[in-house]
Amino acid sequence: MGGITRPRPFAERLGLSSAPDLPEIASGERIVVDSRSGKALSELYAALGSDFSGRAPKYCGPDLPEGLTHWGTIVQGPFDSGYGQDRQILPLADASSMADIERFPWPSPDDYDYVGIRSGAADLGDKARSLSIGWEPIFNRVLDLFGMEQGMINLHMQPQLIEAAVEHVEAFVLEKTRRALEAGVGSFDIFSWGDDFATHRGLFIRPSHWRRFFAPSYRRLIELVKRHDLKFNLHCCGTFVDVMPDLIDMGVDIWNPCQVHLPGNEPEFLKREFGKHITFSGAIDTQHTLPFGTQEDVRREVRERIDVLGRGGGYFCGPDHDVFPDVPVENLLALVDEVKSYRNEACTRMD
């Protein structure tokens, strides 16, 4: 499942002694997790029955300006507005030439610690082990740098600027991934990576632009991961069935968060069209059912999703995004309990 943005009340409800070590609200793209809060988060997810645990390289480069990421963009918390002009700091918004792109201080994969990945894997126990490089998208990063409006204009009016920026972002992502994979060789089952290139109504851009500007980077990343014999877990919100066959052809094994309440993402359709080729992860509605439904509503939705998406296997049941503070503790606990207790011979199993 996604992260819990207000973890302490859940830990308190479960009676975990480590609850005081948890942040009240986890916000920001770069959350500093010390050993105490990190251990407390692990205990919380274990108590909730999470089947996954993971590791990622940690930033160890030069001190960054307050409120900025290593890309020079504003740190984005879970309640921020996205990639619009209101974010104010858009480093490439005024770029008009290739020289402007080349002058940008592109971040370096050298600024990360990869040594702790292998040693940290030993602490993950018998859970499915997921390796990641943190939130390092390509489409989103390019829009973060240009701004949504200017990025979209450049796709049509100055595509060479988009291509140059994508090349730099891809190079960073591939090298950071390569180092993480080599550090964690033999210690992980899954590589998790995300890029939100879709909305509730379809792709942000036309499929032809997606295939021209971004798909080649995705393919190279997936090929790199596959050479290390890991399953590829793609995070992408929204609905993008137009390019789902492309992603399956590239080698995507798992898709989360699988927001099946969106038009075009109906679970019966997704299972029929793509269920033989991809595993679904998520699908319990964090926009409606979890925050506003009753416990029985949550339990009913869990059963319905398992019956459809889980028929014949190929489904990890959980929230379809981060669990925000508007989700009652009891509703998430009802989800966890129903997943553990519901049995359908065609869909579920106990290892």
Residue whose C-alpha is closest to residue 178's, from 137, 217, 225, 222: 225
SS3 (DSSP) at 1:
coil
pLDDT at residue 67, rounded to an integer:
83
**Helix H or strand E segment including 290:** helix 289-292
Could you state, in order of their start, the residue ranges of all structural domains in the chain? 1-50, 59-341
pLDDT at residue 33, rounded to an integer:
54
pLDDT at residue 77, rounded to an integer:
59
β-partners of residue 315 are: 280
User: CA-based angle 44:45:46, to the nearest 5?
Assistant: 90
β-partners of residue 323 are: 4
Retrieve residue 137's tokens.
Answer: 């998208």
User: pLDDT for 295-344, tens place per residue?
Assistant: 999 999 999 999 999 999 999 999 999 898 899 999 999 999 999 999 88
User: CA-based angle 202:204:209, to the nearest 5?
Assistant: 110
End-to-end CA distance of the chain: 19
For tokens 């992502």, name the residue.
Answer: 173
Q: Is the pTM of this model over 0.85?
A: yes
Q: Fill in the DSSP letter of residue 57.
A: P
Cα–Cα distances (Å) from 120 to 3, 26, 56, 165, 182, in that order, read 19, 22, 9, 33, 14
pLDDT at residue 76, rounded to an integer:
67
Rounded Cα gap, residues 32 and 59, in angstroms: 10
Q: Fill in the DSSP letter of residue 219.
A: H
pLDDT-flagged residues of the chain (< 70): 1-2, 23-35, 76-87, 346, 348-351
β-partners of residue 53 are: 129
pLDDT at residue 87, rounded to an integer:
55
Cα torsion 34, 196, 8, 122: sign: negative
256 Cβ contact list (under 8 Å, min separation 6): 233, 234, 235, 280, 281, 282, 316, 320
Q: What is the CATH number of domain 59-341?
A: 3.20.20.210
